[in-house]
Amino acid sequence: MFNIMVVTPESLEKRIQKIKQQIGELGDLRPGALSQQYNVCGSAGCQCKASPPIKHGPYYQISFKRHGKSSSQFVREQDLTEVQQQLENYRRLRELVDEWITVSAQLSALRLREKRRLGHPAPARPTQAKPRRS
């Protein structure tokens, strides 16, 4: 047996309010991807030149694109947990905004269908203004 849920404007509005509440509770946001890196230095006798090499690190770096510009920043190990939470908050924000858009589109379509069902005529389309001849 299937459990069919009836979608009402009220249920969609309630979901939108819940999404807004969740967005407000997210905390600090940071876009990007975190990577762990190991480096080789320029000192000839260093252990990073051995075979097999013992590279320096780990170093943590966040890479992101903002306003079309790619950037990266190093992250200190003591800040790692906080930065990971900020990245997760940003990822969650994107999910919530995407869901908000989906639910809003459903709500708009439902309202338009209801308007047509009740016999409210669609508003007249604006006519194109004709250029004046001098």
| pLDDT tens per residue, range 43-67 | 888 988 888 889 999 999 999 998 9
- Whether the CB-CB separation of 39 and 74 falls below 8 Å is answered with no
Contact of 19 with 43, CB cutoff 8 Å: no
**Mind listing the pLDDT tens digit for each residue in 61-115?**
999 998 999 999 999 999 999 999 999 999 999 999 999 999 999 999 999 988 8
Where do the structural domains in the chain lie, given as residue ranges? 18-115
pTM: 0.75
Radius of gyration of the chain (CA): 27
